[in-house]
Amino acid sequence: MANEIWVVIERTAHGDMAGVSKELLGKARELADANGMKVGALILGAGIGDLAQVAFSYGADTAYVVDDGALAQYTTDGYVGTAAALAKKYQPALILTGAGFQMRDFSAALAAELDTGVAADSTNVMIENGTVSAVRSSHGGNVINTLTFAPGRTAVVSVRKQSFPEPQANPDRSGAAVTENLPGVPMRAKVVSVAPKQGAVNLSDAAIIVSGGRGLGSPENYYKLIPPLAEAVGGAYGASRAIVDAGWVPYEHQVGQTGKTVSPKLYMAIGISGAIQHLAGMRSSRTIVAINKDPDAPIFRVATYGVVGDANEIVPLLTEEIKKRTGR
């Protein structure tokens, strides 16, 4: 087993390195330094440009690069087949990926291919005496599990965004780029087209989320109150399942056990009762503000700040006050 920690590099729609990959390079560097290991960046794609240099600047020692037209679009076969072939060749001790949909697809299949396990959507990863362990929650955040990988098998861990700070880039750092060829893998799926999603929101990226629930009374009230407040605080807007199922807001915006799990810096829950399935998606937010007219609403049990009152009265005042004070 080589003494390497690999980070699978993801790109943004513009082709830059994704924030989560920088966070993971930072974490990999820290783990490598503490354990006498090296950091490898796995860069798969087509027209990869200077991503290897970017990876070095964030802490990679080596970049394993496969630049091939067949990898222009993500397919499980192409990406997992290639990564598995390289992992079998170089035997990294640990492979880190982000935990967005594409990487959840990738990491689980890769782990199966390598006959190891995957700690999915983890929030921490540790190495002690050569043993890799990871922390992940289950049961809607009500259970925190620590899992340990069997020694001698490559550990595969997908990590939730914003679990680690993004390191400072050092443009003077350099490393070794290793170019590899696409292995002969079956390609059973072909991406025919990619279309931007209507009204897409990436709630998991947002630092501030303002969510509304059934307490707002109507979809008209939701749109009158929630997006303007979200805009005033520079955030995205979310929703409880009750109003998604009622058709007020598209599913993309649903926060909770069967929606998105988010942990922003600030989460505002407005007219949301705080059912356990909703809490599952947002209870790890750093600061929680709840506005609800029922002083006994369960949401107040997790709120950092609670305001008891009618959302229709409070929210317009709040939006104005924030605009006034922040000059937005």
Partner 1 sequence: MHIVVCMKQVPRDNSVKINADLTINADGIEQIMNLFDEYAVEEALQWNEKLGGKVTILSIGPEDWKEQIRRALAMGATDSLLLSDPAFTNLDTFGAARVAAAAIKKLGDVDLVLCGRNSTDDETGAFAPALARLLGWTQLTYVGKVVTLESGRIVAERHLEEVVETVEASLPAVVTVVKGINEPRYPSLLRIRKVAKVEIPTWSAADVGLSAADLTPRLNLVNRVPPPPRPKGEIIEGKDATEKVARLVDKLMEAQVI
Ligand X SMILES: Cc1cc2nc3c(=O)[nH]c(=O)nc-3n(C[C@H](O)[C@H](O)[C@H](O)COP(=O)(O)OP(=O)(O)OC[C@H]3O[C@@H](n4cnc5c(N)ncnc54)[C@H](O)[C@@H]3O)c2cc1C
294 interface partner picked from ligand X, partner 1, none, CB below 5 to 8 A per type: ligand X
CB of 107 to partner 1, least distance (A): 8
Q: At what angle do helices 101-113 and 76-90 cross, to 10 degrees?
A: 50
Other residues' Cβ atoms within 10 Å of the Cβ of residue 321: 11
Query: Quick one: which of 45, 59, 78, 117 contacts partner 1 (CB under 8 A)?
Result: 117
Helix (H) or strand (E) holding 222: helix 219-233
204 labelled as ligand-binding?
A: no
3-state secondary structure of 45: strand
Closest CB to partner 1 among residues 176, 189: 189
Residue whose pair of structure tokens reads 């990406």 in the numeric block: 79
Query: Quick one: which of 2, 182, 275, 307 contacts ligand X (CB under 6 A)?
Result: 275
Is position 173 an interface residue for ligand X (rule: CB under 6 A)?
Answer: no
Q: How far apart are the first and last CA of the chain?
A: 54
Query: Quick one: which of 100, 212, 215, 238 contacts partner 1 (CB under 8 A)?
Result: 100
233 interface partner picked from partner 1, ligand X, none, CB below 5 to 8 A per type: partner 1
Query: Quick one: which of 3, 145, 174, 179 contacts partner 1 (CB under 8 A)?
Result: 145
Near partner 1 by CB under 8 A, which window of 26-34, 63-71, 147-155, 215-223? 147-155
Is position 119 an interface residue for partner 1 (rule: CB under 8 A)?
Answer: yes
| Number of residues this chain uses to bind ligand X (CB under 6 A) | 28
Closest CB to partner 1 among residues 19, 309: 309
Residues for the chain: how many in total?
328
The per-residue b/e assignment along 186-201, b for 16 or more CB within 10 angstroms, e otherwise, is: eeeeeeeeeeeeeeeb
Which among 251, 272, 242 is positioned nearest to 199, based on CA atoms? Answer: 251
Is position 253 an interface residue for ligand X (rule: CB under 6 A)?
Answer: no
